Homo-oligomer: A and B are copies of this chain.
Amino acid sequence: MYRYLMETMPRLRARGAADAYLRECASRKVLDAIANKWTCLLVDALQDGPVRFGALRRRLDGITQKSLTQTLRALERDGMVIRTVYPTIPPRVEYALTDLGHSLVTLMEGIRRWSEDHVSEIMAAREEFERRAAEEPRPVPPI
Q: Name A residues whose Cβ lies closer than 8 Å to a Cβ of B.
A: 10-11, 13-16, 18-23, 25-28, 30-37, 39-41, 45, 59-62, 76-80, 83, 85, 87-89, 91-93, 100, 103-104, 107, 110-126, 128-130, 139-143
Contact = CB atoms under 8 A, between A and B. Distances in A.
B141 A77 contact: no
Contacts of A33: 122
26 contacts: A10-B123, A11-B117, A11-B120, A15-B113, A15-B117, A15-B119, A16-B120, A18-B115, A20-B112, A21-B41, A21-B45, A30-B116, A30-B119, A31-B41, A31-B115, A32-B37, A35-B111, A36-B36, A79-B126, A85-B139, A85-B140, A87-B142, A88-B142, A91-B141, A92-B141, A100-B125
A119 B77 contact: no
Most buried by B among A37, A128, A130, A139: A37
Given A11-B113, A111-B35, A113-B11, A30 B129 contact: no
A120 B10 contact: yes
Contacts of A124: 10, 79
B21 A28 contact: no
A23 B36 CA distance: 15
Contacts of A34: 111, 114-115
A121 B104 CA distance: 13
Contact of A14 (B26, B112, B117): B117
